[in-house]
């Protein structure tokens, strides 16, 4: 199973470190991120959840609410949070962790890592990232193996791009960062481009096709 881009993200009803929630209610009318980790009390996961906790002001600035998930019980999550805070030297944690002991959500969302198993031989969750828009539709998904920690500054960069391109007729090029030049969408006519992006320039290429149109970030 799994979920495709553009599909409505399941409104999971789940037990978390802040009580029983419905995911869509938790995210409200803003953007949301759900990210999974293999297991509590493991080294790479500790660095990841600590990093996210330290970046909560940046996510909040972008109207994004975070929530994590693994197969461990809520009690385990709550005890582990103390280690995360100590390791990352943070006082506030700032987001809930979902408990998925039966792998219901992991199976539904296609997050299981067959190479990583618990002591009972059951598969653990991989390092998935799902970014969901205010319309509750999936805008981006990433899937990492257990051995590779994620770069959450890259997740913030992606959110900046998603939020910009959701409302402006531009795309963001490789290695783009907020404030950098953008590309005018191919679907924008030459006439409309002149009106919408008066400072845009067309790059000459051997084909002679005028499809690389660069504009300051709108």
Told to judge if 181 belongs to the known catalytic residues of this protein, a careful annotator would answer: no
Catalytic residue among 104, 135, 192, 204: 135
Residues in the chain, total: 218
Question: What tokens does 87 get?
Answer: 């390791």
User: Which listed residue (45, 66, 71, 182) is catalytic?
Assistant: 45
Asked if 135 is an active-site residue, the reply is yes
Q: What CA–CA distance (Å, rounded) separates 3 from 19?
A: 25
Q: Which two tokens stand for residue 57?
A: 């002001």
Alpha-carbon dihedral of residues 204, 206, 211, 215, nearest 10 degrees?
-30
Q: Give the chain's count of helices (H) and strands (E).
A: 7, 13
Instruction: Tokens 């205010």: give the residue.
Output: 134
Q: Looking at the annotation, which residues are catalytic?
A: 45, 135
């Amino acid at each position: 199973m799994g979920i495709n881009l553009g599909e409505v993200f399941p409104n999971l009803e789940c037990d978390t470190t802040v009580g029983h929630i419905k995911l869509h209610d938790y995210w409200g009318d803003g953007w949301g991120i759900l990210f999974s980790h293999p297991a509590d009390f493991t080294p790479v996961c500790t660095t990841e959840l600590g990093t996210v906790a330290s970046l909560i002001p940046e996510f909040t600035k972008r109207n994004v609410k975070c929530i994590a998930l693994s197969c461990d019980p809520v009690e385990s999550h709550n005890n582990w949070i103390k280690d995360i805070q100590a390791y990352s030297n943070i006082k506030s944690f700032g987001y809930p962790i979902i408990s998925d002991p039966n792998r219901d959500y992991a199976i539904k969302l296609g997050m299981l890592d067959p190479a990583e198993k618990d002591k009972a031989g059951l598969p653990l969750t991989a390092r998935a990232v799902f970014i969901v828009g205010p319309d509750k539709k999936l805008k981006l998904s990433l899937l990492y193996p257990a051995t590779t920690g994620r770069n959450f500054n890259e997740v913030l960069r992606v959110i900046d791009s998603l939020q910009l391109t959701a409302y402006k007729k531009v795309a963001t090029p490789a290695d783009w960062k907020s404030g950098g030049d953008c590309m005018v969408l191919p679907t924008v006519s030459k006439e409309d481009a002149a009106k919408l992006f008066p400072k845009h320039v067309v790059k000459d290429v051997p084909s002679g096709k005028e499809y690389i149109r660069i504009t300051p970030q709108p």
